[in-house]
A and B are shown apart, each in its own frame.
Chain A
Amino acid sequence: MSTAILDPSARPVAAGGLNRTVLGIELSRVLRNRRTMIFTIIFPIVMFLFISAQITGENDRMGPAVANVGAYIMVSMAIYGAIMATTSAGASVSIERACGWSRQLRLTPLKPLPYVMTKVVAALVFGVVATAMTYAAGALTHKAVMSTQGWWQSGLAVVLGSLVFAALGLFMGYLLPSENAMQFLGPILAVLSIFGGIFSAPIDPDSGYGQVAALTPIYGFSQIAHWPLSQTAAGAHDAFQVSWVVNLVVWGLIFVAGAIWRFRRDTARV
């Protein structure tokens, strides 16, 4: 019998960290998933074109603001698309758990945290793509009018705010036993989007409905992302409410805490 006399300690230890090949494959997985592409890119663009086509003339003005109603709708739809993108990228861990891929990865040097970071980066890139596509539709059709500042401020707010929902996706992906957590999350996000005011005109914050809506997860995000649109030609804005930031941060912390809690349980060695 031939035997190699092996000095095991001569083998190098893998870094186990973030990895360009893995990130590349994860990104292409996200981008070629047809079902999520429909909800994250095609649906927001179609909705934007459909609604903005019906709002013309005087109806397209938002008081003294530079931005028009078309821009408001475009930002709303971009929020929806970015949320769907980041949530589904995070929630894809549910599929990986169901098919045993995450268990397989535990037989490799890959550490759990870099794996989650890879998911977050993939979610972020997907969120950027979704936002950029909706914004491109708005710009190319000239249906959305905003100041230059408005374009990049609202765009940046959409992308960064949507990261909170990558945490929601991870939380649900590690929590739900189902094979595809998005089947469950999709309708919930749609309802939360209504409360967040992104399928309607701005919600009156003083109404009873507005006071309830202000407590839901998409509300603060939506208010922050739409706020740059209130800029007037003179440079004035509507008042910025700290409560919007509180809403986004508190929900963000809840999602991150939930994701860490479930993630720890999932990767614990028994």
Chain B
Amino acid sequence: MTSTTAPPAIALRAVTKSFGEVHAVRGVDLQVGQGEVVAYLGPNGAGKTTTIDMVLGLSQPSSGSVSVFGMAPREAIDRGLVSAVLQTGGLLPDLTVRETIRYTAALFPAPLAVDEVIERAGIAELADRKVGKCSGGEQQRVRFAMALVSDPELIILDEPTAGMDVAGRRTFWENIRADAGRGRTVVFATHYLDEADAYADRVVLLRKGEIVADGTAAEVRALGTGRTVRATWPGADQSALAGIPHAQSVEVRGEQVLVHTGDSDAVARHLLNHTPARDLEILARGLEDAFVALTGDQAAEPDRVASTPSPTATTASTPGSLR
């Protein structure tokens, strides 16, 4: 476990960030210990990038405090403690791959050997190619090499595998895992929930600028578990739908109504006794559903759940299992 004397890699305390009337981040408390691999999940506009920008010192919080290894973000960058792989951009197309890494290495106080990093990122055969001539996946590996070359203690990855094929994604994550094994802290934002599931020690779920879940992938999956009650209900009207008890969210697809709920018994009872709904089906859910349930627009204001899973949430998340 993390030593109690070591400063956390990231410490956010009551951080808010507003752009005029838009409250992008609304009170985030988050500590990431050294050596943790954390997935940062949330739909677009949840405040992921805004938070990452503050951790990287690209912007300042409206209130609250941000520290990286116990110091201001800018100081952590000046010491080469933190680096980031941004989702897009950040590359000069007219530089060769090797020049890009050399350029980056030259800016840091104690960089790794350029050729070693190029080797480790798997871009040795691209080294003399112009960056602009590399494919999206290749460019992503170049960004990874740029992030590695400063020998950082914390790497932040924003959608690191966007644009990579399946094999590329697997290799990329093998590299990241190998790195985390050396004690490096990794925080990544991703849309691929299977990546969060497979590679993160911890999943932090963000919704509308607030953390709605924080725990291991299994714990977060359990939080969202509840179930989905599916029924055939032609012509369901808004007020009738709004009257369903214990609903976390309601989706209507043609004649199908899907109710996400923590209490499927109560929903089923209500639908059968008080509505024309018929042909009921009750489905268990996976991390993806937990994600939707906890971050969707219709999600009820969730209790801020820490890492204690509810004891009832033990169902294997096999979609389509019938009760």
Q: Which residues of A contact B (CB under 8 A)?
A: 1-6, 8-9, 11-16, 19-22, 25, 29, 32-33, 95-96, 99-101, 103-110, 269-270
List residues of chain A with CB within 8 A of the CB of B183.
Answer: 2-4, 6
Residues of chain B having any CB pair with chain A under 8 Å:
1-3, 5-7, 19, 33-35, 56-60, 69-71, 75-81, 83-84, 86, 88-95, 99, 102-110, 146, 150, 153, 181-183, 201
Q: Out of B59, B60, B90, name the residue touching A100 (CB < 8 Å).
A: B90
A162 to chain B, nearest CB (A): 23
Residue on A with the closest CB to B17? A270
| Residue in chain A with minimal CB distance to B183 | A4
- Residue contact B78 to A100, C-beta cutoff 8 Å: no
| Chain B residues in 8 Å Cβ range of A12 | 79, 109-110
Most chain B Cβ neighbours within 10 Å, of A9, A22, A33, A108: A108
Taking a contact as CB atoms under 8 Å apart, the answer to whether B107 and A8 are in contact is: no
Kindly provide the distance from the CB of A148 to the nearest chain B CB, expressed in whole angstroms: 40
16 contacts between A and B (CB under 8 A): A2-B181, A3-B6, A20-B106, A99-B89, A99-B90, A99-B93, A100-B89, A103-B58, A103-B86, A104-B90, A107-B77, A108-B108, A108-B150, A109-B77, A109-B78, A269-B57
Chain B contacts of A25 at CB under 8 A? 95, 99, 102-103
Known contacts A1-B35, A3-B2, A108-B77; decide if A99 and B92 are in contact (CB<8 Å). yes
Report the bound CA distance from A2 to B86 in whole Å. Answer: 27
Chain B facing A: main interface SS: loop
CB distance from B57 to the nearest CB of A (A): 7
Q: When the two chains form their complex, are residues B102 and A11 in contact, meaning their CB atoms are under 8 A apart?
A: no
Chain A residues closer than 8 Å to B110, beta-carbon distance: 11-12
- B35 near A19: Cβ-Cβ < 8 Å: no
Closest 10 CB pairs of A and B: A100-B89, A4-B183, A104-B90, A21-B106, A8-B69, A11-B79, A14-B109, A3-B35, A108-B107, A12-B109
Question: Which A residue sits closest to B181, measured CB to CB?
Answer: A2
Shortest A184–chain B CB gap in Å is 20
The answer to whether B91 and A104 touch across the interface, beta carbons within 8 angstroms, is yes
| Complex alpha-carbon distance, A108 and B104, angstroms | 8
Apart from A100-B90, A107-B83, A108-B104, list 18 A-B contacts with CB within 8 A: A2-B183, A3-B3, A3-B183, A8-B71, A12-B79, A14-B107, A19-B106, A21-B105, A22-B103, A22-B106, A25-B102, A100-B86, A103-B89, A107-B77, A108-B107, A109-B109, A269-B60, A270-B19
Contact: A109 with B6, CB < 8 Å? no
Q: Is the CB of A106 within 8 A of B58?
A: yes
- Whole-angstrom distance between the alpha carbons of A103 and B57 in the complex? 11
| Cα of A15 to Cα of B106 in the assembled complex, Å | 11
Q: Which of A3, A20, A104 contacts B34 (CB 8 A)?
A: A3
Measured between beta carbons, the chain A residues less than 8 angstroms from B75 are 13
Q: Are B107 and A110 neighbours in the complex by a CB distance under 8 Å?
A: yes
Residue on A with the closest CB to B147? Answer: A107
Q: How far apart are the CA atoms of A106 and B53 in the complex, in Å?
A: 11
* C-alpha spacing A3/B7, complex, angstroms: 12
User: How far does the Cβ of A267 sit from chain B's closest Cβ, in whole Å?
Assistant: 10
A13 proximity list for chain B (CB < 8 A): 75, 78-79, 109
